[in-house]
Amino acid sequence: MVVLPRFLRGGTVPMLSLVLVALFAVFGLLLGERFFSVGSLQSMAFQLPELGILSLAMMVALLSGGLNLSIIATANLCALTMAWILTTHVPGAEGFMWVGWQAVAILAGVGVALVVGLINGFVIAYLGVSPILATLGTMTMCKGLSIGLTRGNVISGFPEPIVFLGNGTLAGVPVALLIFAALCVPMAVLLGKSPFGHKIYMLGSSERATRYSGVDTRRVLLGVYVLSSLLAVVAALVMMARFNSANAAYGESYLLVTILAAVLGGVDPFGGFGKVGGLVMALILLQVISSAFNLLDFSPFLTLAIWGALIIVVTALGVVLEGFGGAKR
């Protein structure tokens, strides 16, 4: 079995911090004040949250030893559901109803996410279907529904409070970044301190041993995929707010990047190990690379290539160091 090298497990945050300092030094020399300008840093802060929330959704599934390929499609279906209510019922409403319909829209999105999460969890936990196949199926289902119901069209024009969530700032800090931070803290506590979090780690380490220890592994798996989908709906809200629109194809390039961010942040791709702090550091590192390449006028496809090379290097290094450690023993 391939595991991450030790420096990517226990010391993920310090190691990534050193890499981040080195990147800041290199890009600072190449770009000068442009890289450290308020506008540049604020741009990074606006772009990071949506990928960050989706990466949290992927991380939860990976920790359990599974995978959730449906997070993007779930987010888009939830966004379109919310967008339809916001554009058909909010205009013309006044007073309490104007606020009420916005609340109904968000609750409808949460309801859609809950249904998708329950489908994923039931099929994986109770029917024994592979997480890859199950979530690939729900991904296709959600995308088909999104395109079929909207004919691939964009739904746009949302109320100011919704748009503020994606584009507003508080004391110069993007609201979307505050939402991401507000999710990271309880997620770190949930995973690191709660009985449910401990069961997720146990499940990812050994499903059979966890089941023999008396844990209802099916209920835990069900909870994992429901939680993953609920995180996806928060990402949907941030994305639709930032773009002031919703579409079935938004964020499709994020799917593999969420896996990259999780693995680079120290999450074992086979489950059982990983921390929210490591994931956050990996997201910052990836965002710094993306923003610097953009300022250098590099092609966005080159950024994707670099990100892909990173995951190859990280996983290959894990194999090499694990083999070296085994040889020494």
Q: How far is CA 70 from the centre of its chain?
A: 11
Confidence at residue 228, expressed as pLDDT on a 0 to 100 scale? 97
CA dihedral 183, 187, 193, 196 (to 10 degrees): 130
pTM score:
0.89
Tokens of 47: 């772009």
Confidence at residue 3, expressed as pLDDT on a 0 to 100 scale? 45
Could you tell me if 48 and 64 are in contact, meaning their C-beta atoms sit under 8 angstroms apart?
no
Tokens of 142: 């959600």
Q: Where are the domains of the chain?
A: 48-249
Confidence at residue 317, expressed as pLDDT on a 0 to 100 scale? 67
Cβ-based neighbours of 187, under 8 Å, separated by 6 or more: 56, 60, 276
Could you tell me if 204 and 269 are in contact, meaning their C-beta atoms sit under 8 angstroms apart?
no
Tokens of 107: 């609750």
Confidence at residue 324, expressed as pLDDT on a 0 to 100 scale? 54
Tokens of 113: 């996410």
The type of residue at 288 is: V
CA angle in degrees (0–180, nearest 5) for 21-38-26: 30
Cβ-based neighbours of 313, under 8 Å, separated by 6 or more: none
Q: Is 174 helix (H, G, I), strand (E, B) or coil?
A: strand
Confidence at residue 11, expressed as pLDDT on a 0 to 100 scale? 55
The type of residue at 244 is: N
User: Which residues of the chain are under the pLDDT cut of 70?
Assistant: 1-12, 314-315, 317-329
The CA R_g of the chain, rounded to the nearest whole Å, is: 20
Confidence at residue 186, expressed as pLDDT on a 0 to 100 scale? 95
Q: Where are the alpha helices (DSSP H) in the chain?
A: 12-31, 33-36, 38-63, 71-88, 96-125, 131-150, 160-167, 175-193, 195-205, 207-212, 217-243, 254-264, 276-295, 300-328
